[in-house]
């Protein structure tokens, strides 16, 4: 069966160059980088080379990079650490459209009695800056805010947010899991104190993450025990995956601008193709002017996103939906809800996320198949009238 993978915001294919770079570390170079002997020293060199390649992609110093197991771990380390460092009186500010890897730890702190404020967003998913300024009037304060949204692709003005928050005296973290590798991310231009990202969103394997901590920022480790990562993350380093991530960052840095403009062209071809073939009751969710080049989130009114996905999957097409079936009822995505997308649109939302491996033929196949499915489901929907 023909397969078309358009769910790259969920995870990406591991690049063949990355597999190749990792291979020797499963066979010959299996030493522990902390060991004093030859086996360790040989591996430690590669670990530090990968650290330098990762740092270079985001304009950081290698000493500011901590390897973790995933984006979720990086976010949890920062958020629980900030609450402890800043103490009970501190305010934690986030947005209503964050990934659960941020909302989960923030809401846990709220349950423990911390002052947690979730800033709302407008109709295209941009945060309300006036509300942010108001929330920042309370100090001390910690701000955690995503760089790019995983569901809609909306890109936040992170430099502006960081400048506003820093000048109010806050400590600032960004969840850049969807941004790194897809957009230029440079901590020299964006004054965040901490930044998280994850290997499996940029063609490295699952199970490797990064936490950038700007020099001088107070940091409390999540994992205690060993002295690895200069005492900032205990646990023997996952050397093969770290080496793979280093290679993935090198590839992303080298080809980002050409690759992303090609990916953007294919995404636009997909989006305009679908809008032309399904002109009624179709909308694009998110900020079309400030958006990840690989992402489109489209809503088809009066039908269920999960039903579309199911039929797409039968045709070998992998995408994802903004609604989740929980106990028999369709729960609308918290992101689309926060943007005020009407329920009859939000329930029929589909996210297509492309990558460097997506081809024009694949896009045309999806543009051919989706309208057939949408029309078939609409014909069955009790809500559709002749005017729709």
- Residues lying near ligand PLP in the complex (CB under 6 A) are found at 70-72, 99, 101, 146, 150, 175, 177-178, 198, 209
Please identify, using beta-carbon distances, which residue of 9 and 358 lies nearer to ligand PLP: 9
Q: Which of 80, 82, 47, 81 is nearest to 66 (CA)?
A: 47
Closest approach of ligand PLP to the CB of residue 379, in Å: 34
Whether the Cβ atoms of residue 271 and residue 299 lie closer than 8 Å to each other: no
Q: Is residue 106 among the annotated active site residues?
A: no
Q: What is the DSSP string of 42-82?
A: HHHHHHHHHHHHHHHHTT--GGGEEEES-HHHHHHHHHHHH
Closest approach of ligand PLP to the CB of residue 69, in Å: 8
Closest approach of ligand PLP to the CB of residue 245, in Å: 11
- Residue 158 token pair: 């992170």
Please identify, using beta-carbon distances, which residue of 175 and 271 lies nearer to ligand PLP: 175
- The Cβ of residue 291 has, within 10 Å, a number of other Cβ atoms equal to 22
Please identify, using beta-carbon distances, which residue of 72 and 260 lies nearer to ligand PLP: 72
- Residue number with the smallest Cβ distance to ligand PLP: 71
Q: Which of 142, 141, 176, 171 is nearest to 158 (CA)?
A: 176
- In angstroms, the CA 358 to CA 227 distance is 42
Closest approach of ligand PLP to the CB of residue 72, in Å: 3
Closest approach of ligand PLP to the CB of residue 361, in Å: 27
Closest approach of ligand PLP to the CB of residue 377, in Å: 27
Whether the Cβ atoms of residue 104 and residue 112 lie closer than 8 Å to each other: no
Q: Which residues contact 73 (CB under 8 A, 6 or more apart)?
A: 209, 222
Q: Which of 12, 4, 20, 19 is nearest to 259 (CA)?
A: 12
Q: Which residues contact 184 (CB under 8 A, 6 or more apart)?
A: 256, 257
Which one of the listed residues 145, 249, 278, 325 is annotated catalytic? Answer: 325
Strands 91-95 and 141-146: parallel
Please identify, using beta-carbon distances, which residue of 198 and 321 lies nearer to ligand PLP: 198
> Which residue's entry shows tokens 């809503």?
299
How distant is the alpha carbon of residue 19 from its chain centre?
22
**Catalytic annotation, residues:** 325
């Amino acid at each position: 069966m023909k397969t078309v993978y358009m769910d790259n915001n969920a995870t990406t294919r591991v690049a063949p160059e990355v597999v190749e770079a990792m291979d020797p570390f499963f066979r010959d170079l299996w030493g522990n980088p902390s060991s004093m002997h030859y086996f360790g020293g040989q591996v430690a060199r590669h670990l530090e080379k990968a650290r330098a390649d990762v740092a270079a992609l985001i304009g950081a110093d290698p000493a500011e990079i901590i390897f973790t197991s995933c984006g979720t771990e990086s976010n949890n380390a920062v958020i629980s650490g900030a609450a402890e460092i800043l103490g009970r009186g501190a305010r934690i500010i986030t947005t209503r459209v964050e990934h659960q890897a941020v909302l989960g730890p923030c809401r846990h702190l709220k349950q423990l009695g911390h002052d947690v404020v979730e800033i709302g967003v407008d109709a295209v998913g941009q945060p309300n800056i006036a509300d942010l300024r108001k929330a920042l009037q309370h100090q001390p304060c910690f701000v955690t805010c995503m760089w790019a949204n995983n569901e809609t692709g909306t890109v936040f003005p992170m430099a502006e947010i960081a400048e506003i928050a820093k000048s109010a005296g806050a400590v600032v973290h960004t969840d850049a899991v969807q941004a790194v590798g897809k957009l230029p991310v440079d901590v020299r231009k964006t004054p965040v104190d901490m930044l998280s990202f994850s290997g499996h969103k940029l063609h490295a394997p699952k199970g490797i993450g990064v936490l950038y901590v700007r020099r001088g920022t107070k940091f409390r480790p999540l994992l205690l025990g060993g002295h690895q990562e200069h005492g900032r993350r205990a646990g023997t380093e996952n050397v093969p995956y770290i080496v793979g991530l280093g290679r993935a960052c090198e590839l992303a840095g080298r080809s980002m601008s050409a690759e992303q403009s090609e990916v953007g062209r294919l995404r636009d071809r997909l989006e305009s193709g679908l809008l032309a073939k399904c002109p009624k009751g179709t909308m694009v969710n998110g900020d079309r002017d400030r958006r990840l080049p690989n992402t489109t989130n489209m809503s088809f009114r009066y039908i269920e996103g999960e039903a579309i996905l199911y039929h797409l999957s039968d045709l070998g097409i992998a995408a994802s939906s903004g609604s989740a079936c929980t106990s028999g009822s369709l729960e609308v995505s918290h992101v689309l809800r926060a943007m005020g997308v009407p329920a009859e649109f939000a329930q029929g939302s589909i996210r297509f996320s492309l990558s460097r491996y997506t081809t024009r033929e694949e896009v045309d196949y999806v543009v051919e198949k989706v309208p057939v499915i949408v029309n078939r489901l609409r014909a069955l929907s009790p809500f559709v009238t002749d005017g729709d």
